[in-house]
Chains A and B, each alone.
Chain A
Amino acid sequence: MTTLLPRAGARPPGRGPRTAARRRERLTALGMVSPAVLLLLVFFVIPVVLAFALAFTSARLISPTPAHFVGLRNFTLLFQDPVFFRSLLNTAVFAAVVVPVQAGLALALALLVNTKVGGTNFFRTVYFVPVVTSMVVISIVWMFLYQKTGLVNHLIDTFSLGHLHGPDWLNDPSTALPAIIFMSVWQGVGFHMVIWLSGLQTIPADLHEAAAIDGADRWARFRHVTWPGLRATRTFVLITITIDALRLFTQVNVMTQGGPLDSTTTVVYQAVHTGYDQQQTAYASAISLVFFVLVLAVSLVQRFLTREKD
């Protein structure tokens, strides 16, 4: 085989410059990925490994004595702690209500906004305002709205013509969690509306037209065209709402600090409360692991339930 490349010393023809270029390409690539890889190692991999390791020790945030191995002690303590069970229950209730309600309302909003009449963009933007607003600010503003003499109760008063009087929402153990649930759905529904909308837009318009020509009414078209077309979107919406619901923290920390009477404490709130306020890093790591197992279980189960059934 003849080569057009210049001979370089005793090296086989053509290989020399190419290997050098390859090596340079490899080194440059390593240089380019290394900042990201290094940062992910320090701020992701090591802390995740630590979450597993510290959960079996006596580590405290600031401690004169070094942490030592304590086996399953943190977990036995955890599963005897009634407040932890309360936080698991509250988190489960929150997720069980928020997931279907928020997913359903978001889909309803998407269908309502997705019209040919125009204004889609306007309404989409308006419904999205709470999504880009900080949850801390939203929680503070809603604390004012939820007061005994706040705006929400004024509205209830006005619309029931004075027959109904709202409670002191956030200070009543029976209404604090529902109040937080309502506000959270209100805040997050715009996000999932946008996800549903992008799903709706992937369904070809001629499918709807064909169904309409065949005499299908609105419900039949939704049932047989829209719904099957949203399969991938559905999985994503369910998984993200569920994981977001399990992460419930900010609203609780700002509005109720877990109270009244632990009626709004959550898993993440407990982790922060014990790990940061009480500096029990090891115990908080154990809570974080339970949280992670929950998240993992939920996404695996949902992926399984919504898998392609072909």
Chain B
Amino acid sequence: MATTPTPAPGPRRRTLRRIPGHLLRSALALLFVFPVVFMLISSFKPDQQIFADLGSIKAFLPVGQLSLDNYTAVFDRVPAGRFLLNSIVISAVTVVLGIVVNSLAAFALSRMRWPGRRLLLVLIIATLIVPFETFALPLVWWVNKLPWLELNGFHLALTEGWLDTYRVQILPFVANAFSVFLFHQYFQSIPKELDEAARMDGASWFGIYRRIVMPLSGPAVATVAILTFLPMWNSYLWPLMVVQDENLRPVMVGIQYFFQLNVSWGQIMAYSTMITVPVLALFLAFQRSFINSIASSGVKG
């Protein structure tokens, strides 16, 4: 640049040497985002436009006939709003319950003295070596047999089978060994003297949990929230097997169902965009916490 005050040869040569690296990094950036950009752009185009633009850079540019027709068509053909609402409810409830249940357990395991706490922690962490797929199919069989108390008018009725409910999509994922582990690690870093001082002042254990430890654990709560939310929003295998009822269907099973209706590609891209963009927006807004949270699953080894 002409305004550079000291045109020393060193820095400039170094800048020149950096160009290939930058070009490579930028080319790779394109490689990683082009499908998402293509999805987003195509969701506003009619099919003949999508196919006509394929041969050129226009496939990635908002040019030609653009409209929201694909979006309105999605809502006409399937209850996409309902699917979105289901996924929001299921993910949100699991995140909230997961934070409470796992942090309570971690609190008792890390800050209170009772027999068996070390063994229980080891057992909980040991469950991490068993992937969900190992017991997913027996679990379908099992939840189909589980009882539930249902209030029918004024009397309680015992029903059998959890298939086609919200609870079958939520409860199996509330208690999470990795969340317990993350909370436990974090709680260890909070000085125990705080508890003792509070005990002197007559605070109950639950009071210490609620008023001292949890308010200091924002980062751990955020990490657990992100690590619970993402797989819940994206969950596919489990709801595929336990939910038939359209009214309870989450977004990822909903899109596959929509896809099988042989609808136009533009509409599929519109649906895909609707269920992807909210998560991507969250990710871009909190990218540092997202990446650090997900990377933190890398320290468990």
- Tell me if B80 counts as interface (CB < 8 A to partner A): no
Contact, CB under 8 Å: B101 / A47: no
- Tell me if B36 counts as interface (CB < 8 A to partner A): yes
B17-36, CB under 8 A of A: which get 1 and which 0? Answer: 01001101100110111011
- Tell me if A174 counts as interface (CB < 8 A to partner B): no
Q: Which single member of A135, A141, A240, A281 contacts B141 (CB below 8 Å)?
A: A281
Contact, CB under 8 Å: A28 / B112: yes
B-contacting residues, A126-150, CB 8 Å: 126-138, 140-142, 144-145, 149-150
Nearest to A195 among chain B residues (CB) is B298
Contact, CB under 8 Å: A140 / B301: no
Contact, CB under 8 Å: A136 / B256: yes
Residues from chain A with Cβ under 8 Å of B117 in the complex: 29
Q: Which single member of B175, B205, B272, B290 contacts A40 (CB below 8 Å)?
A: B175
Interface residues on B, range: 35 or more
Max count, chain B CB within 10 A of own CB: residue among A59, A109, A113, A131: A131
Taking the nearest CB of chain B, how far is it from the CB of A31, in angstroms? 8
Contact, CB under 8 Å: B259 / A129: no
Taken together as a complex, chains A and B put the C-alpha atoms of A127 and B142 apart, in Å, by 40
Contact, CB under 8 Å: A194 / B294: yes
Taken together as a complex, chains A and B put the C-alpha atoms of A254 and B255 apart, in Å, by 10
Tell me the total A-B contact number using a CB cutoff of 8 A.
263
- Tell me if A10 counts as interface (CB < 8 A to partner B): no
Residues from chain A with Cβ under 8 Å of B25 in the complex: 112-113, 119, 123
Contact, CB under 8 Å: A129 / B33: yes
Contact, CB under 8 Å: A36 / B138: no
Contact, CB under 8 Å: B124 / A109: no
Taken together as a complex, chains A and B put the C-alpha atoms of A242 and B256 apart, in Å, by 27
- Tell me if A15 counts as interface (CB < 8 A to partner B): no
- Tell me if B16 counts as interface (CB < 8 A to partner A): no
Given contacts A29-B113, A140-B268, A272-B241, 15 further A-B contacts (CB under 8 A): A29-B114, A40-B175, A50-B142, A123-B28, A129-B280, A132-B280, A149-B51, A194-B294, A195-B295, A240-B298, A249-B237, A268-B133, A272-B137, A272-B237, A291-B131
Which residues of A come within 8 Å of B, CB atoms? 22, 24-26, 28-30, 32-33, 35-40, 42-44, 46-48, 50-51, 54, 59, 61-62, 109, 112-113, 115, 117, 119, 121, 123-138, 140-142, 144-145, 149-151, 154, 158, 186, 190-191, 194-195, 197-198, 232-233, 235-236, 239-240, 243, 247, 249-250, 253-254, 268, 271-272, 275-276, 281, 284-285, 288-289, 291-292, 295-296, 299
Which residues of B come within 8 Å of A, CB atoms? 18, 21-22, 24-25, 28-29, 31-33, 35-36, 38-39, 51, 54-55, 59, 101-102, 104-105, 107-109, 112-115, 117, 120, 124, 127, 129-131, 133-142, 144, 146, 171-175, 177, 180, 204-206, 209, 230, 233-234, 236-237, 240-241, 252, 255-256, 259, 265, 268-269, 272, 275-276, 279-280, 283-284, 287-288, 290-291, 294-295, 298-301
